[in-house]
Structure 1
């Protein structure tokens, strides 16, 4: 998952490490010099201050640039003497340009890529480090912090919200056609069941032929109840009936499917607005494919503008080598990614944990696996 982006992030770390060469070990700039011999090399005694002819020769004036340069060298010398080094802006200029191109080529949205670069600059430029701490480690920490800041925007604990909400909790799923909304509903139904929550499925996709049959197959496989109406019925009425059923039968969560739509489909977007008015769902979740990359990011923004979403699920994350959508959606919409779909089975649904995802991008999951194998 996201192997292409992982490789590019590792290349950035290596590039910075090459650019940020260690400063040379030098004596402390404030260290005292060895006392001079009493006699000069030519045998004469050292002049006594105050005697005629002992006035010191005036030193040439240094221009301001040389003074700044000397002070910079002095600071680096002091850092070296105390076992520290500093990463400077020049060290990052080339690697950051390459990283920006790498992020954009991995379908990371431009404003998000720029936010990541800004975070790295803030965390690295002028930062001193102990010599026992490699440049690569310092860069990795800065990169990790910048990535987490970007992808954890709006993050909340989904299970905690379910636990604390009044029952039944109504959740509506929306997005374009063919991205896996119906399968995601089935996966989430099993995920909730494993945590002790009962669910009822509602087919608000009343326009697509075969939609009832598809969701009914999932309901049968999971031994769950499906509420559906005839094709062409009012989607809001279907989901309303599912909420009524849940209230009457002490069901915890209603999972409502809707027709796939584009944000430009005015009649279908009007349906979403009607569902909001009639049902007042506790959550609206946007579903799209991780492999859609920049298209998924743009659609998430558009759906959020048209009918506010509370979070997103990205399907086919296991087939996505780039990771641009996973990196960008939360920052662009201000709403978190809640789950990743990682396969076709019902248990192939992974809660989205920003720290876990970033560690995976930085290769920490491979380090952990290697450690377990060695043990």
Structure 2
């Protein structure tokens, strides 16, 4: 999920690191040091990894815990093992020496070429030291995002200034806009990151990456965490009052609204509640049959009238049925409509007046990006929605809608559709979302489980 956003954030860190290192090299303020260079996404799990290494380095309390087989090993066997070990070392040493010799000759050739060349393109010369070590770190990089080469420190501490970040953050803003992130969201991210970074004191290259990671994570955290009650909490509150929670779903055709209703019915049925579905999309051909199919599959009651009947009457009957039968949840399906269709929007307002829903939820397709955000704005202006469900989030590589939609309309995302099955829906959690955006794929998969 959201691979495009991850790459944009990571590139921002890399560009800032390059900018500062190249400037330090010109100032003769740069030195290479021993240690591991961390990638952008490694900082989220760095502490956990260090803790594991500390524990693994502890020795047993007593040598008596050593296996008995070790004590019984004969002297001849030990001699054999030592000879085998020495042989391996010699082979390894020979290989390394040949490798180093080859490396040294290559470096000598590079130096000769540099000495013979005239004053050429400045861009080729200014980052020679940095790019050589950067390439080395890529070759030696490990699976957990660390590399044994390319770690630099500054002889004199550097301070991040506006001149270092202005062009880089402008590029980030343009990339976010191209990734279907809303204008106000892209601007907010950039301004927040700039405020966090400018003035930071930098001692080594890892600091640049870590500070950029933290600045971006903090900026996104502010945007995606829109406060609001969960639907489950609201069901419990209404249940305590002896009434069902009434939820009305709105959106345009093709976003997966009816399928989402089936998923939610299944979700809350498994939580021990008894939902009922209202087939209030009485205009679209096959709509009643479609929602009936989902209701039958998950095993919940559906209230429906004939095609072309008053959709508000269907919603009203479903609410009365839930009250009479002691059911805790009413899910009202409505006809998909474009936000610009005045007549259908008025019909939707009538359903709201009659059924008096506790929640009006906009269902949008995450893959439509900025279009989903614009649709949500129009529906919010027309009917005052309370929350959002984004479908197809699992297939969304850009992440524009997921990042933007809640912030733009100041209403929480309540659920995400993450697959085709009835179980493929999850309650939205801002911390989970952050981990999706700021962790590598392996870590994200663990979180999903």
Please give the root-mean-square deviation of Cα atoms over the aligned residues, in Å.
Answer: 2.4
Within 2, Cα distance between the matches of 1:17 and 1:262?
46
Residues 2 and 437 in structure 2, CA contact (< 8 A), matched pair in contact too:
yes
* Partner residue in 2 for 1:41: none
The equivalent of 1:70 in structure 2 is none
Residue 198 of structure 1: how far off its partner (Å): 1.3
Shift of the 367–225 alpha-carbon distance from structure 1 to 2, 3 Å rule, reads closer
Deviation at 1:133, TM superposition (A): 5.9
1:66-105 pair list within 5 angstroms: 85-105=158-178
Distance in 1 of aligned mates of 2:302 and 2:444 = 42
Q: Is the 2:276–2:302 Cα contact (8 Å) retained in structure 1? A: yes
Mapped contact 2:159–2:202 kept (Cα < 8 A):
yes
Distance 1:312 1:198 in 2: 22
Distance in 2 separating the partners of 1:198 and 1:274? 26
CA contact (8 A) 2:436 2:444 kept: no
Pair 1:114 & 2:187 matched: yes
1:331/1:369 Cα in 2 relative to 1: closer, same or farther (>3 Å)? closer
Aligned to 2:217: 144
**2:321 is equivalent to residue 245 of structure 1:** yes
Tell me which residue corresponds to 2:236: 163
1:210-359 map, 5 Å: 210-359=286-435
Whether the 8 Å CA contact 1:359–1:365 is kept in 2: the answer is no
CA distance in 1: counterparts of 2:280 and 2:401, whole angstroms: 27
Cα displacement (A) at 1:157: 2.9
2:199 is matched with 126
- Supply the distance in 2 between the matched residues of 1:309 and 1:370 (Cα, whole angstroms): 33
CA distance in 2 between partners of 1:157 and 1:125 (Å): 37
Aligned counterpart in structure 2 of residue 153 of structure 1, from 188, 201, 226 = 226
TM-aligned CA distance change 1:363 to 1:104, over 3 Å: same
2:17 equivalent to 1:17? yes
Consecutive unaligned residues of structure 2, counting only runs of 5 or more, are 32-153
Contact 1:10–1:362 (CA under 8 A) maintained in structure 2: no
Find the partner of 1:186 among 262, 267, 270: 262
Q: TM-score, normalised by structure 2?
A: 0.67
Q: CA–CA distance in 1 between the matches of 2:360 and 2:157?
A: 51
Aligned length: 318
Q: State the 1:290 CA deviation.
A: 0.5
Deviation at 1:364, TM superposition (A): 4.6
Alpha-carbon distance in 2 for matches of 1:237, 1:96: 53
Alpha-carbon spacing, 1:110–1:184, altered in 2? closer, same or farther (3 Å): same
Q: How far 1:245 sits from its partner (Å)? A: 0.5
Relative distance call for 1:276 and 1:367 in structure 2 (3 A) is closer
User: Could you tell me how far apart the structure 1 residues matched to 2:204 and 2:409 are?
Assistant: 41
CA distance in 1, matches of 2:393, 2:271: 23
- Cα distance in structure 1, aligned partners of 2:225 and 2:173: 20
Q: Give the distance between the partners of 1:104 and 1:268, measured in 2 at CA.
A: 32
Separation in structure 2 between the aligned mates of residue 259 and residue 271 of structure 1, nearest angstrom: 9
- How far is the alpha carbon of 1:274 from its aligned partner? 1.3
**Unaligned 5+ residue runs, structure 1?**
27-79
Q: 3-state SS of the aligned residue for 2:11?
A: helix
**1:119, distance to aligned residue in structure 2 (A):** 1.1
Q: 1:150 to 1:279 in 2, by over 3 A?
A: same
Shift in alpha-carbon separation, 1:364–1:155, aligned structure 2, 3 A: farther
CA offset at residue 132 of structure 1?
A: 9.1
**Residues 181-204 of structure 1: per-residue CA shift (max 9 Å, x gap):** 000001011111222221001111
**Who is 1:68 aligned against?**
none
